[in-house]
A = this chain, B = another copy of it.
C-alpha cells in the first residue's frame, strides 16, 4: 500500500513524502514509483496514529447517564448498580463500540483498566482491529492476588485501581508481577482532592510519595492523571522514569479541579502521554479533542499563550504512549510498525499555515480518512472497513437495547 504525496510528520518535521506500507511495517518514506494499491494523499496530512493511554472502554454502555448529579450520586445511583449487572457479553459489545469509536477518530491502540472480564475487552479490540493493552484491576475485582498471575502475560498489564481502593500488599504484588512479566503497572494517582486527603491521613504522605515509599515507581509504571502533584513528586516521577497519563477532559468532566502541570513535568524529562479516560467520564473517546484541550489547559493554567506547544503535544499523543507500552510504533519511519492516520484537509484545515498547529488546534475526527493499525487498513475513506460493518451494527443494536434494559433493572 502506498500513501502518495501527503504531507508527512517525520521525526525531522513535516515533509512531502510517499509512505509505503508492507505487511505490518513502514517499508519506506520517500519517493516511490509503486503504482498499484495507491491512496492519493496530496490533500492530506499523514501522521502517527494516537495511543490512548488510559481508558475503561467497557463503560461506553453507561455514557451520558446521570449527568447533573454530584460525583457521589452519579457513582452510587447510576454507575455502580449498572456495573454490578454487566455480563460478559455486555463487556464485549461495549468494548467493541469504544474500539470502533477510537478507530474512527484516529486511535490505533488503547491502554485499558477494568475489573471485570478484561479478556472480553481484548477480544473486542482484536475483532474491531485496534491494539489493546488490557489489565485486571485487582482492587475493584476483589480477586485473590494469586489468581491474577495466570492472566498477566506479554501484551497485557497489571493494575490496581488506586491507593485508596487497593491494599498496600496488592500494589506491591502487582508491581512485582509487572517487573517479572515485563509489562506495565497501571494505577490511578493524584486524581482528586479527596484522594490527597486520604493519602495524607492514612499514610502521612502525598500520593506519589506513598508510591515512591513502596518502591513501585519505575519505567513500567503508568500513572493515570497525576493532577494534584507537588514539585517534590514531579522529581520522584522523573527520577524513576515513570510515565504520566494526562486526561484533561475527564478531569474537567468530573470537576476534580486539578490539571496535570505538563509544563513543569516536561521540563524534568518525564514521559508524558495523553488519554480520554473512560467513555462514562468524558463522554467520548476522541483523541483529537484531548489533544486540543490538553494544549488549551496548559495555556490557561499558567496564563501563558506560549505553552501547549503543538509538536510536544503530538509526541504525547502517540510516540510517548507506544514507548510506554513497548510497541515499536508512533513515528513515520522505515521499519516502524505501521500505525498511521491520514488526515484529509477540509475547510477547517485551510490555509495550512503550520501543520502541527493545524492538527492540534483546528483538526477534528471528521478529518480522519484512513487509519492503519499495524499495517491493517481498518478505516477506509472515513468509514469502518466493509468486512467489519456487520460487527459494528451488531454492537450498536446490542448496546442500545441493553442500555435500556439496564435502566429498568
Which A residues fall within an 8 A CB radius of B? 60-65, 67-71, 74, 97-98, 100-101, 104-105, 249, 251-255, 257, 282-286, 289, 292-293, 296-297, 299-300, 302-307, 309-310, 346-348, 350-354, 356-358, 361-362, 364-366, 392, 395-396, 399-400, 402-404, 407
User: B350–A283 contact, CB under 8 A?
Assistant: no
Count of chain copies: 2
User: A97–B350 contact, CB under 8 A?
Assistant: yes
- A397 vs B306: C-alpha distance when bound (angstroms): 30
12 more CB-based (< 8 A) A-B contacts, given A104-B346, A104-B348, A293-B296: A63-B362, A68-B306, A68-B310, A97-B350, A253-B361, A255-B302, A282-B361, A283-B357, A289-B292, A347-B396, A350-B395, A350-B400
Partner of A350, one of B60, B307, B350, B356: B60
- The answer to whether A364 and B253 touch (CB under 8 A), given A347-B101, A352-B400, is no
The 5 residue pairs across chains A and B that have the minimum distance between CB atoms: A351-B403, A366-B366, A252-B296, A64-B357, A255-B305
- A249 vs B308: C-alpha distance when bound (angstroms): 13
Nearest-neighbor residue (CB-CB) of A251 within chain B = B300
Majority SS of interface residues in chain A? helix
- A350 vs B392: C-alpha distance when bound (angstroms): 11
User: B296–A347 contact, CB under 8 A?
Assistant: no
- The answer to whether A64 and B289 touch (CB under 8 A), given A74-B305, A252-B296, is no
User: B67–A347 contact, CB under 8 A?
Assistant: no
Distance to closest chain B CB from A35 (angstroms): 27
Q: Which of A306, A404, A407 is packed against the most chain B CB atoms within 10 Å?
A: A306
By a CB distance below 8 angstroms, the chain B residues around A354 are 64-65, 67
Distance to closest chain B CB from A358 (angstroms): 5
User: A351–B101 contact, CB under 8 A?
Assistant: no
- 30 A/B residue pairs, CB under 8 Å, sorted by A: A63-B353, A64-B357, A64-B361, A64-B362, A67-B309, A67-B310, A67-B356, A68-B310, A69-B306, A71-B305, A104-B346, A105-B348, A252-B296, A252-B300, A253-B296, A253-B299, A253-B305, A253-B361, A255-B300, A255-B304, A255-B305, A255-B307, A285-B348, A286-B348, A289-B289, A289-B292, A293-B296, A347-B396, A353-B407, A364-B366
- A396 vs B349: C-alpha distance when bound (angstroms): 10
By a CB distance below 8 angstroms, the chain B residues around A303 are 255, 257
User: A365–B362 contact, CB under 8 A?
Assistant: no
- A202 vs B63: C-alpha distance when bound (angstroms): 50
User: A399–B351 contact, CB under 8 A?
Assistant: yes
Nearest-neighbor residue (CB-CB) of A248 within chain B = B296
By a CB distance below 8 angstroms, the chain B residues around A396 are 347, 350
User: B361–A364 contact, CB under 8 A?
Assistant: no
